[in-house]
Structure 1
């Protein structure tokens, strides 16, 4: 138990070993944490639990350090298994404790655990007096599940934000001002780009709604990663910026290749961007981490995707990238397609269709060549890069 505010404690788990999240969908190079918080007051309240594999360690430690019988209520800000996975094991030992959650949370907790506990459904503005403190509940649907909510601790100026403002980041430190800032913001923007991008319009509205509540916040404690205490609202400003069709001044070139023909095209296109003074980042999709590429696309002004044609389609790594971009629905980004082929040559049109479906505007018509491109064809690729740069600047 680590005290983060007077009589408010972090009681979570640090998972240094985890390297993928949401099954195998999301890479977590720096591990993660499952942050749970305990409010000791006249009424003792536990806010969120931890992922299922840690349930026995978590509950045993709570019992040893605090005593399970002393827990009066559990707030479930979000029912996903990394937050509520220990709930069945915990509630088997404190079955009379109240559970506070949203209406959607009630349904989703039941669908996860199939138990009828003492549920109390709450909505924005509802409160729970613990004694010195008062909990104020703020619904945050689709940030990032329908049941999501925040819990604001009135009297402590503390926002328990669940997934919002989190990072998959295991560290010996507890707070943002104690860690490497480059690592911290790499993980924070990666988290936003890969999880919250589709809900950006809702992020902006929720931030505006919360600001309108005009409550003081000097600490934000998410459910993953470190706690924000140094200028805590700076990360809220970052989220507002990231939610507003965010972009930085560079282009991503992402490709896969079979016999290096498409690779040579990618490098020639890159030389055209460079001569046009447009910074770029070059990725072989099959040899790079998908979520890291997605993070860079989120940050970029545009993305140029390449693949050879195989079975009238694209290589599987390229297909996976396109499908991921479709789900994330990036805003205000330019795109283009290129590729090699042997006889049919459908890859460029497949990529262009995918970019359009992902909400990315095709800035220049795609380019393709058979087998290994000649020096003249590589020069055309360079000019293709220059034309993309020209259109991007417009």
Structure 2
């Protein structure tokens, strides 16, 4: 195997999951990675492990550099199994190594593995001297579990950020700047996947993210590279940090999403007329059918869109099941600073639009306008839908 070195004595020793297609309930069509990092000095530290089943790949990379029995410290930035799943494999080789994590991390690892290992719980500001290199620890609770922390290599100015700043992306490359080098045209696959990752995992924690970035800035920590536990390593950390600041603040583009499902095309007709009203007003708009687009892809678009319109036909006096499921998923992610509107159709009795509005209200949101149509939209209904699109476009422009 080719050794992949981030800095002198700092190596990527993770695993590539080319076949990953689902993670935490969202789709990963480009696969994923489980990044682990080996730091070789007078003492040797392994930062994070890999998902269960990928230990041999990680150990193979480690053996290209050192004999794994020489590992002195295993740093666990996060308990979740995609990072700690191979911890017992490592500890079987180095049972006397010190496991370094937060207090919550210790509780979680003991609870999961039942391992009687040599733990050291750390907090922000604690350091570990390996020789010429120093590891500094920064607790990061709720990014995205209570146990999370970052590990910072002081001399090399590398932030090992675990789930922060990650992406699900399998590639033969390890650094963000290399991913598009063979395509012959500009692309931003890494940032696209970073946005999807943030939207589907970290969006509820925007306030925490802002405080953590502010805390790191106050600590005077200079970052030349960010090495997350999923995806590519950021050689231009300012790019992803600025993106996180915008996302965490709920900053949006002048863009509208029309998200719907339909039974006999009445709600779909309404959706298309709303879209036409937005588009004719000169505002970007996208249309998503909930049974034809993966929800995690729609959520990525929600992240940077200003207005969200939800449409549902009535079924059994309530929302269509896909609309209800999607809203449950979306409300849990708590998108910030959005305009909302609702629409739908029914046959002999309504209920879908009311149910959608109640679901939005339970998440702390209010619909600026609602339209409900009986059976097929007539000419007046179509005019109302078109006018709703225009109204939303006007509000987006004014925001």
Please give the TM-score of this superposition, normalised by the length of structure 1: 0.96
2:336 aligned with 1:334? no
Q: Report the Cα offset of residue 178 of structure 1.
A: 0.9
User: 1:389 pairs with 389, 393, 399, which one?
Assistant: 393
Any idea what the Cα deviations from partners look like across 1:39-84, whole Å, max 9, x if unmatched?
0011100000000121233335534652121111100000100000
For the structure 1 residues 352 and 45, does the alpha-carbon distance in structure 2 shift closer, same or farther, using more than 3 Å as the test? same
How far apart in 2 are the matches of 1:238 and 1:389?
Answer: 25
Match of 2:13 in 1: 11
Contact 2:38 2:62 in 1 (8 A): no
Match of 1:210 in 2: 216
Q: Report the Cα offset of residue 320 of structure 1.
A: 1.4
Match of 2:281 in 1: 276
Contact 2:98 2:117 in 1 (8 A): yes
Q: Which runs of 5+ in 2 are unaligned?
A: 181-186
Contact 1:330 1:359 in 2 (8 A): no
Contact 2:307 2:392 in 1 (8 A): no
Matched position secondary structure for 1:177: helix
User: 1:255 pairs with 257, 260, 281, which one?
Assistant: 260
2:348 aligned with 1:343? yes
Matched position secondary structure for 2:384: helix
How far apart in 1 are the matches of 2:238 and 2:55?
Answer: 32
Match of 2:184 in 1: none
Matched position secondary structure for 1:233: helix
Q: How does 1:172-183 map to 2 (within 5 A)?
A: 172-180=172-180, 181-183=187-189
Q: Report the Cα offset of residue 275 of structure 1.
A: 2.2
User: 2:362 pairs with 357, 379, 393, which one?
Assistant: 357
Q: How does 1:270-309 map to 2 (within 5 A)?
A: 270-309=275-314
Match of 1:369 in 2: 373
Q: How many residues align?
A: 390
Match of 2:133 in 1: 133
Matched position secondary structure for 1:388: helix
Contact 1:330 1:360 in 2 (8 A): no
Contact 2:14 2:57 in 1 (8 A): no
Match of 2:327 in 1: 322
Matched position secondary structure for 2:170: coil
Any idea what the Cα deviations from partners look like across 1:174-218, whole Å, max 9, x if unmatched?
111112342111101111111111100010000010011112221
How far apart in 2 are the matches of 1:284 and 1:13?
Answer: 35
For the structure 1 residues 233 and 390, does the alpha-carbon distance in structure 2 shift closer, same or farther, using more than 3 Å as the test? closer
Matched position secondary structure for 2:41: coil
Matched position secondary structure for 1:338: strand
User: 2:204 pairs with 198, 201, 204, which one?
Assistant: 198
Contact 2:15 2:34 in 1 (8 A): yes
How far apart in 1 are the matches of 2:300 and 2:166?
Answer: 15
Please give the TM-score of this superposition, normalised by the length of structure 2: 0.95
How far apart in 2 are the matches of 1:374 and 1:53?
Answer: 58
Q: How does 1:44-193 map to 2 (within 5 A)?
A: 44-63=44-63, 65-180=65-180, 181-193=187-199
Contact 2:254 2:396 in 1 (8 A): no
After TM superposition, the structure 1 stretch with the greater mean CA deviation from structure 2, 108-117 or 3-12, is: 108-117
Q: Which runs of 5+ in 1 are unaligned?
A: none
How far apart in 2 are the matches of 1:4 and 1:192?
Answer: 24
Contact 2:129 2:135 in 1 (8 A): yes
Q: Report the Cα offset of residue 278 of structure 1.
A: 2.1
Any idea what the Cα deviations from partners look like across 1:14-47, whole Å, max 9, x if unmatched?
111101012xx11111111100000001110000
How far apart in 2 are the matches of 1:28 and 1:351?
Answer: 28
Contact 1:325 1:358 in 2 (8 A): no
